[in-house]
């Protein structure tokens, strides 16, 4: 029983990464109608920016948590301005192919310079060590990841669903022409939204840097699972992607305990089941 509690907690930790990443994807899909395959590469860039900030600029983890999402977010906004915006109104496939290509190029460039094994990034001193919970030894850093990402997820949900800015945003997706008539700069808002989604990916990258290796392919390995999470949760549903992210982390954690060989595939099995029963995803609305 103790082992089970421990696995549940570990599942929540992985779930936080799924939640942060799928949230970014959901925001981008919901507002821009783009299936952002570059999300994994941008997550990786977040981790690399944190690494560079520390090793070249001596800027610590806490600043990286703020700066890396901004830097990568700006990179994302440049992508949106120069490339993605021309795809508005076209079939989803075009956006998917373009962002997939961008991901391959970005990963290739990083791999060329940094190899595939990755670079070490230490846990910040304040979060080193762990505490004994009785049923498991919880590294403080992992606890921090769960709490912090939960706060960020809820804040994003609040921003989009409950504020005036979020209302403009949702209105702009429904009917851009009408929203423009009210004097709102829709293209700029779309760019900022993409920047926000990308920033969330970069933030997840910084959070994961001390746990995993900072590797060029760290995002490529994760992104497919995250897409499955988004599909299960329902494309474009903010709360759906948060809840599914955490839930699937837990389910994956339990699989690692009961039948480890299937831990890679359990998410996809669930995805197939959900698609068979409810093709719009658990919380998605019919298009």
Partner 1 sequence: MKTRSIASLLLTTALTFAAAGVASAQDKTVKIGALSDQSGLYADLGGPGSTLAAQMAVEDSGLAAKGWKIDIVSGDHQNKPDIGTAIARQWFDVDKVDVIVDVPNSGVALAVNNVIKEKNGVYINSGAATSDLTNAQCSPNTVHWTYDTYMLAHTTGQALVKAGGDSWFFLTADYAFGAALERDTTAVVTANGGKVVGGVKHPLNTPDFSSFLLQAQASKAKIIGLANAGGDTTNSIKQAAEFGIVKGGQKLAALLLFLTDVKAIGLETAQGLNFTETFYWDMNDQTRAFSKRFAGKMKNNAPPTMVQAGVYAGVRHYLKALDALGGNPHDGVKVVEKMKSMPTEDDLFGKGEIQPNGRTIHSAYLFEVKKPSESKGPWDFYKLVGSVPGDQAFTPLSESKCALLKK
User: Which residues are at the interface with partner 1 (CB under 8 A)?
Assistant: 2-3, 6-7, 10-11, 13-14, 111-120, 122-123, 129-130, 136-137, 139, 141-142, 211-213, 215, 217-218, 221-222, 253, 256-257, 260-261, 263-264
Taking the complex as a whole, how short is the minimal distance between the CB of residue 23 and partner 1, in angstroms? 19
Phi, psi of 88 (to 5 degrees): -55, 130
Nearer to partner 1, 62 or 137 (CB): 137
- Spatial distance between the Cα atoms of 52 and 214, rounded to a whole number of angstroms: 11
Burial of 252 (0-12, 13-18, 19+ CB in 10 A): buried
Nearer to partner 1, 100 or 114 (CB): 114
Helix axis angle for 140-162 and 164-174, nearest 10°, is 70
DSSP state of 119: B
Nearer to partner 1, 130 or 176 (CB): 130
Nearer to partner 1, 14 or 193 (CB): 14
CB 257 within 8 A of CB 242: no
Render 192-240 in DSSP notation, one character per residue.
HHHHHHHHHHHHHHHHHTTTS-B-TTHHHHHHHHHHHHHHHH-TT-HHH
Taking the complex as a whole, how short is the minimal distance between the CB of residue 253 and partner 1, in angstroms? 6
Nearer to partner 1, 39 or 142 (CB): 142
Taking the complex as a whole, how short is the minimal distance between the CB of residue 14 and partner 1, in angstroms? 6
Taking the complex as a whole, how short is the minimal distance between the CB of residue 268 and partner 1, in angstroms? 12
């Amino acid at each position: 029983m103790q082992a089970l509690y421990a696995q549940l907690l570990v599942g929540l930790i992985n779930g936080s990464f799924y939640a942060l990443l799928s949230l970014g994807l959901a925001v981008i899909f919901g507002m821009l109608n783009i299936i952002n395959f570059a999300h994994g590469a941008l997550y990786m860039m977040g981790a690399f920016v944190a690494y560079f900030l520390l090793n070249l600029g001596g800027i610590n983890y806490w600043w990286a948590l703020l700066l890396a999402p901004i830097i990568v977010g700006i990179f994302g906004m440049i992508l949106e301005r120069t490339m993605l915006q021309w795809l508005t109104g076209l079939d989803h496939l075009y956006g998917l192919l373009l962002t997939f290509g961008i991901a391959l190029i970005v990963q290739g460039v990083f791999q060329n310079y940094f190899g595939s094994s990755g670079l070490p990034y230490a846990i910040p001193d304040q979060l080193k060590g762990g505490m004994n919970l009785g049923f498991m030894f919880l590294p403080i850093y992992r606890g921090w990841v769960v709490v912090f990402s939960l706060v960020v997820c809820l804040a994003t949900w609040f921003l989009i669903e409950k504020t005036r800015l979020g209302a403009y945003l949702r209105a702009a997706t429904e009917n851009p022409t009408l929203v423009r008539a009210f004097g709102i700069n829709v293209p700029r808002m779309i760019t900022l939204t993409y920047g926000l989604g990308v920033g969330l990916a970069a933030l997840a990258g910084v959070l994961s840097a001390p746990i995993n290796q900072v590797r060029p392919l760290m995002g490529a390995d994760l992104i497919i699972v995250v897409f499955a999470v988004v599909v299960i949760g329902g494309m474009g549903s903010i709360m759906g992607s948060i809840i599914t992210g955490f839930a699937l982390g837990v389910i994956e954690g339990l699989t690692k305990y009961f039948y480890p060989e299937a831990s890679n595939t359990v998410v996809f099995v669930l995805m197939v089941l959900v698609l068979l029963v409810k093709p719009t995803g658990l919380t998605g609305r019919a298009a």
